[in-house]
Amino acid sequence: MGGADWRQVKDFINEMVVLSQIINRNVVKLLGCCLETEAPLLVYEFVSNGNLYDLASVPIIYRDINSSNILLDNDDKAKVSDFGASRLVPLGETQVSTIVQGTLGYLDPEYLQTSQLNENSDIYSFGVVLIELLKGKKATQFGGNSNTLVMHFVSSMKEDCLKDVLDTRVVNQSNENQVMEVASLASMCVRVSGEERPTMNEMELKCVIVMQKHSLAKGKMKYEENEHLLGHLANAYGFDGTSTSISGNTQSQIAFELEDGR
């Protein structure tokens, strides 16, 4: 018996031993085995709806991410539109060869050179949109050439003078740290090499972290504002700290009610 055949027999025996000792509704039930065939067979219960892999969403490369294709509803939630240029990527594949298509100013330089479309191409385009938002300038203002916008942004970061070129409507003292983190993410998205750009999952995680930090920062500022207001209230009602003071629990309760709008 060859090495490969012996390995198959060992795997067969091992699977029988393991599954025969497992009773769990989330494990496919082993019904029996057949040794009369050339290769031994295991008989399982029939599971009608197939496997999870076949039900997974087919990866989509949007191919034309730009600020005009991102719409905002009444709550300012972003909605992506216009999938006319999008491509479905067959499962198991990471890129497709296609003619270059998209909006000038947002196109991935690698895609322009190789005609190889992949997820990294969308990452680059999204990075350009982030830079547009941070700088308050459109990529199309540079003659449809995103390199000017991107290069100016990246060089500003390297020279540590990015704050001087950010749109004042975007950045202020309260959100400066969060804006700089978004700027760092944007610079990673527009790296020349697609392999060096973050993945979609990495970007989602980064955005969640930034939002959590922003939420915590706002909560801290709100708490400090409440403490300041409580000081004025204490003075107004004669609690000057010399005779009678507001207890910590009472302050916390008032702060909570103020924050809750009551």
What are the tens digits of pLDDT across the range 116-125?
Answer: 888 889 999 9
With contact defined as beta carbons under 8 Å apart, do 126 and 191 qualify? no
Nearest-10 crossing angle of helices 248-259, 200-236: 120
Q: Tell me how far apart the alpha carbons of residues 123 and 190 are, in angstroms, rounded to a whole number.
A: 8
Predicted local confidence at residue 112, as pLDDT: 85
Predicted local confidence at residue 3, as pLDDT: 55
Predicted local confidence at residue 225, as pLDDT: 53
Q: Tell me how far apart the alpha carbons of residues 44 and 27 are, in angstroms, rounded to a whole number.
A: 10
Annotated active-site positions, please? 64
Predicted local confidence at residue 258, as pLDDT: 40
Predicted local confidence at residue 246, as pLDDT: 39
- Rounded average pLDDT per 10-residue block, the chain, 262 residues: 68 84 85 83 87 72 87 86 78 72 85 86 92 87 65 88 86 84 91 89 76 63 52 47 42 42 42
